[in-house]
Amino acid sequence: MKREVISYIVKAGLLFIVYYSSATFGLNLNAVSNFAALFWLPTGISFAAVLVFGYRMWPAIALGALFTNYIHGAPFLVACGIAIGNTLEALVTVFIMQLFVGRKPSLARLNDVFIFIFIAAFFSTMVSATIGVTSLFLGKTLSASYMSTWSAWWIGDLLSDLVVAPVLWLWITGQKLQSGLIKIIETVFLMICVIGVGIVIFSEQFALPIQQTPLTYLVFLPLIWAAFRFGPRETATSTFLFSLIAIWFTAHGSGPFVHAKLSESLLSLQSFMGVIASTSLIIAASIAERREFERRKDDFISFASHELKTPVTSIRIYTQLLQKVFIKKKERKASDYINHIDEQIEKLIHLINDLLDLSKMQTGSLEFRKEWVSLQTLLQEVVENVSIASSRKILLKGRALPQLYADRDRVGQVLSNLLSNAVKYSPENKTIVVKTQIVSNRVIIGIKDQGMGIAQEHQDKIFERFYRVAESRIQMLPGLGIGLYLSRMIVKYHGGDMWVKSLPGKGSTFFFSLPLQRKHMRLFQSKKEN
pLDDT (tens digit per residue) in 79-104: 999 999 999 999 999 999 999 998 88
Alpha carbon distance 484, 222 (integer Å): 34
* pLDDT for 330: 77
Residue 472 has pLDDT above 50, yes or no: no
* pLDDT for 303: 66
Residue 235 has pLDDT above 90, yes or no: yes
* Orientation of helix 76-101 relative to helix 41-53, angle to 10°: 50
φ, ψ dihedrals at 512, nearest 5°: -145, 150
* pLDDT for 511: 94
Alpha carbon distance 226, 207 (integer Å): 25
Alpha carbon distance 396, 380 (integer Å): 8
Rounded to a whole number of angstroms, the CA Rg of the chain reads: 34
- 523, HSE (Cβ side, Cα atoms, 13 Å): 10
Alpha carbon distance 486, 431 (integer Å): 26
Summary count for the chain: helices (H), strands (E): 18, 7
According to DSSP, residue 432 is labeled E
Alpha carbon distance 422, 433 (integer Å): 9
Alpha carbon distance 470, 173 (integer Å): 44
Using alpha carbons only, give the angle 291, 295, 301 rounded to the nearest 5 degrees: 145
CB–CB of 234/190 below 8 Å?
yes
Residue 243 pLDDT class (50, 70, 90 cuts): very high
Alpha carbon distance 83, 81 (integer Å): 5
What mean pLDDT is reported for the chain? Answer: 85
Query: Which of 33-47, 307-321, 365-379 has the lowest average pLDDT?
Result: 307-321
Task: Decide the pairing of beta strands 432-439 and 394-398.
Answer: parallel
Express each pLDDT in 493-512 by its tens digit: 899 999 999 888 888 999 99
Burial class (CB in 10 A: 0-12, 13-18, 19+), 468: middle
Residue 309 has pLDDT above 80, yes or no: no
Using DSSP, state whether 462 is helix, strand or coil.
helix
φ, ψ dihedrals at 151, nearest 5°: -65, -40
Task: Dump the DSSP string for 357-379.
Answer: HHHHHHHT-----EEEEEHHHHH
Residue 389 pLDDT class (50, 70, 90 cuts): confident
According to DSSP, residue 119 is labeled I
Q: Give the closest residue to 65 by CA, choosing from 132, 116, 151.
A: 132
* pLDDT for 469: 67
pLDDT (mean) for 469-475:
53
Q: Check residues 425 and 8 and name the one with the higher pLDDT.
A: 8
Residue type, 484: L
Residue type, 170: L
According to DSSP, residue 118 is labeled I
Burial class (CB in 10 A: 0-12, 13-18, 19+), 440: exposed
Highest mean pLDDT among 318-322, 354-358, 388-392, 417-421: 417-421
* pLDDT for 479: 55
Residue 179 pLDDT class (50, 70, 90 cuts): low
Chain centroid, CA 164 distance in Å: 23
Burial class (CB in 10 A: 0-12, 13-18, 19+), 481: middle
Q: Check residues 215 and 210 and name the one with the higher pLDDT.
A: 215
Q: Check residues 267 and 137 and name the one with the higher pLDDT.
A: 137
Q: Tally Cβ neighbours within 10 Å of residue 329.
A: 10
Sign of the torsion formed by the C-alpha atoms of 97, 99, 101 and 106:
positive
Task: Dump the DSSP string for 379-404.
Answer: HHHHHHHHHHHHT--EEEEEPPP-EE
Residue 471 pLDDT class (50, 70, 90 cuts): low
Alpha carbon distance 195, 222 (integer Å): 10
Using DSSP, state whether 141 is helix, strand or coil.
coil
Q: C-alpha dihedral over 142, 148, 152, 153, to 10 degrees?
A: 50
Q: Give the closest residue to 272 by CA, choosing from 239, 294, 307.
A: 239
Residue 17 has pLDDT above 70, yes or no: yes
Q: Tally Cβ neighbours within 10 Å of residue 13.
A: 11
Alpha carbon distance 219, 172 (integer Å): 26
Q: Give the closest residue to 483 by CA, choosing from 390, 358, 392.
A: 358
Strand partners, 500: 510
Residue 182 has pLDDT above 80, yes or no: yes
